[in-house]
Structure 1
């Protein structure tokens, strides 16, 4: 909730920005605010995931997917995420969040997101997500159908690299209906 006002602002601004397909790259310009940085005066490592949420919201809103999800009663959730740091985005630095949907595996859809300063990648993350309905996880075939209903044809190859699929599978916790005892 600490980026709720930014979330609302991004969703409002998305209404005035050009529409796009889910397969294009969304770019949201930001500035590293006092609420983003830690004592080292750079964006806190955990804050990047909250800021990257904004990029995914922009992409979903501008492509029409956000409205389609709301209409169908679907809610987005993150299943796994990984991040790599190259340089620090420091206090009050202007930066861009680049977001692109890169594909699907048997369970999830994937985004690649970047924090970019002056054309240079500072941080890169991969996010594996799902959509949930009251009946449970929404199958990818239904998600792709909803995207097609919006008039956006999917690229021919939507598979993600074996490396990303392996990372998601290997880092996954047991399903919510299974036990996951803490036995340290």
Structure 2
């Protein structure tokens, strides 16, 4: 909830921006705020995932997917995330969040997101998301029927499969006891 006002602002602004296909890349211009930084005076590593949410919301609104999901009572949830940092974003620095879907498999929809300044990538993340309905996970068949099939050039990178397997926790139907 710490980004609730920025989220509401981005949802409002996204409705006034040009429409996109859900398979198109999205770009959102932002600035590093004082609430984004840590004691090292650069954007806190945890904030990247929070502002990346804003990029995914922009893509969902501009493509019409968010409205379709609300009608169907589908909710997006993050299933896994990984990030790599190259440079630090500094207080008051302008940057863009670049977002695109890089593919899907039987378990998730995968987004690549980048924090970019002056054409340079500062951070890159891959986020595995799922859609859930009141009756459980939404199948790819339902997703493709609602949003359309991905273009042929949208092919999930091979390393994602291994990352997903190695990163996943057990299903909620199986125990996941804590023991170091």
Same fold flag (TM > 0.5)? yes
1:133-168: per-residue Cα shift (whole Å, max 9, x none)? 0111101121111113xxxx5302543112011101
Residue 29 of structure 2 contacts residue 94 of structure 2 at CA under 8 Å; is this kept in 1?
yes
1:128-167 equivalence runs, <5 A: 128-148=128-148, 154-167=150-163
What's the TM-score, normalizing by structure 1?
Answer: 0.95
**Residue 7 of structure 1: SS of its match in structure 2?**
helix
- Figure out how many residues of one structure are paired with residues of the other and give that number: 180
**2:103–2:150 Cα contact (<8 Å) kept:** no
Cα offsets for 1:10-52 (capped at 9, x unmatched):
1100111000001111000000001100011111001100000
TM-score, normalised with respect to structure 2: 0.97
Q: Which runs of 5+ in 2 are unaligned?
A: none
Moved over 3 A (4+): none
Match of 2:120 in 1: 120
Q: Distance in 2 between matches of 1:171 and 1:38?
A: 27
| Cα RMSD, aligned residues only | 0.9
Gaps of 5+ in 1: none
Counterpart secondary structure, 1:11: helix
The CA distance in 1 between the partners of 2:99 and 2:154, in whole Å, is 16
Q: Secondary structure at the match of 2:150?
A: coil
| Separation of aligned partners in 1, 2:2 and 2:144 | 31
Alignment partner, residue 180 of structure 1: 176
Secondary structure at the counterpart of residue 170 of structure 1:
helix
C-alpha distance in structure 2 between counterparts of 1:3 and 1:17, whole Å? 21
Q: Secondary structure at the match of 2:19?
A: coil
